[in-house]
Structure 1
Amino acid sequence: MGRKFSEHEKEYIRKRLLETGKNMFSTYGLKKTSIGDLTKSVGIAQGTFYLFFKSKEELYFEILEIEEERVRKSLLSEHFISEELTRARFKQFLKQAVSIVETNPIFRQIYEEDVLEHLMRKLPPEKWEKHMIKDFNMSLPLISHWQKEGRMVDLDPELIVSMIRSLILLTLQKKIIGEQLYQPTIELFIQFIADGLVKKEDLRHD
């Protein structure tokens, strides 16, 4: 039988697995990182890993959710919490979101088609469904707030979230779009989204 860990030890090991996983997945990628690599770095037996996560894909997915939450809070607090929503501010928010996806290795991998398909095969469908619902529910209050204040057009909030996701997915098409046209295409798409969703200041009601 394996040794029993105290609650403090469990908390420490879980934290180390998350930290080590983030570093290794960012450096080597999901597919090239093995459970043996992770446990060796943390200093635990491979069997101990399964006390915390069912697979390396599950560990990766939890790291992804933590990263998404961290970035979401940072972006929203920087652009919207204490200031009025404007088209210019919303454009800057979208540009920064695209930049994060393009440069953050964890996000970059999840939006690469082969890694996404790999995760979808390995993880239970209900985990993905829960993730999508959580993502939408976290965006809904802010979108509803902007709509009630007359700052954003009165569209289905789920459609608005989908439009923003479509911008992120467009970053996968850089090779197809072409190096010279990619950046102007992204910028034009951002402009269309911001102009289409955020009302002009002189058209807002009190």
Structure 2
Amino acid sequence: MVTKEYDMPKRVIPEEERNSIKLTMLEAGFPLLKEYGMTHTTVSKLTEAAGIAKGTFYHFWKNKEEYMTDLISYHRKKMIPLYIDGDVLAGKRKVGRDEVKRFLLAMIDEEVSIYAHMTLEDEAKLIRQTDAFLPDPVKESAIAVNLLDHVEGVREDADLPLIANMIKIFVIAAESREELQEEAYGRTVDTLAESILDLIFE
């Protein structure tokens, strides 16, 4: 009996190799997203940049949208130690207003932030394809709490849901940059950042 190709079992990839391949593909994604945008960043481009077979991609993700969701999470975590030093993350000291503002602006910096290279249409597509982008008030408030745990001088009446919403609006402004008045874009994001800081600090 001839075994058809699609009847053959997939190769089992050892855990250490899986982790290495996944990391390589996640590292390959951001430069492609910067160059092509989400729509034109294809699975073929991703696997070619990572130096792996196209079929290997599907050992890890069902589709490009699921990959992009992981890529966003990966880069969000990767950004934190770049702008918040180890002493802060270890709880040895807390940050003040200026450092929080630098981190907020880094969230939309085209050189380091994935959000600066996405559009509202991209986000809408991810929402349709995966539950990871659906609004989650509990998760968003938890992120705000985690941020404020590292901050000194937080207002006693800090409104966590409002802060979470304002940070989301801040990111949406960057995603909608082409729809805004370019001449006033810098002042717009600075005003939004200052509004967030006023909600956080006494």
Q: TM-score, normalised by structure 1?
A: 0.72
CA distance in 1, matches of 2:39, 2:97: 36
Q: Deviations over 1:55-84 (max 9, x none)?
A: 122112111101111223443438965555
**Deviation for aligned residue 1:181:** 2.7
Aligned pair 1:5/2:13, yes or no?
yes
Deviation larger for 113-122 or 176-185: 176-185
Q: Report the 3-state secondary structure (helix = DSSP H, G, I; strand = E; otherwise coil) of the residue aligned with 2:109.
A: helix
Contact 1:167–1:190 (Cα < 8 Å) also in 2: yes
Partner residue, 1:20: 28
Corresponding residue for 2:77? Answer: 69
Q: Which residue number corresponds to residue 170 of structure 1?
A: 173
Q: 1:154-165, aligned counterparts within 5 Å?
A: 154-165=157-168
- Could you tell which deviates more after superposition, 180-189 or 128-137? 128-137
Show CA shifts across 1:127-148 (max 9, x none). Answer: 22487754532331453686xx
| Shift, 1:121, TM fit | 1.9
Q: Which residue number corresponds to residue 155 of structure 2?
A: 152
Q: How do residues 74-93 of structure 1 correspond to structure 2 at under 5 angstroms?
A: 74-77=82-85, 83=93, 89-93=96-100
Match of 2:144 among 123, 130, 139: 139
How many residues get paired? 191
Query: Does residue 94 in structure 1 map to residue 94 in structure 2?
Result: no
- Give the secondary-structure state (helix, strand or coil) at the position aligned to 1:101: coil
Q: Which residue of 1 aligns with 2:5?
A: none
Identity %: 23
Once the two structures are TM-superposed, the CA of residue 17 in structure 1 deviates from its matched residue by: 1.7
- Larger relative contact order (CA 8 Å, sep ≥ 6): 1
Please say if 1:185 is aligned against 2:188: yes
Distance 1:130 1:65, change over 3 A: farther
Aligned counterpart, 2:3: none
SS of the residue corresponding to residue 108 of structure 2 reads helix
Could you say what the CA RMSD is over the residues aligned between the two structures, in angstroms?
3.2
The structure whose residues are more often helix, as a share, is 1
Instruction: Give unpaired runs (5+ residues) of structure 1.
Output: 200-206
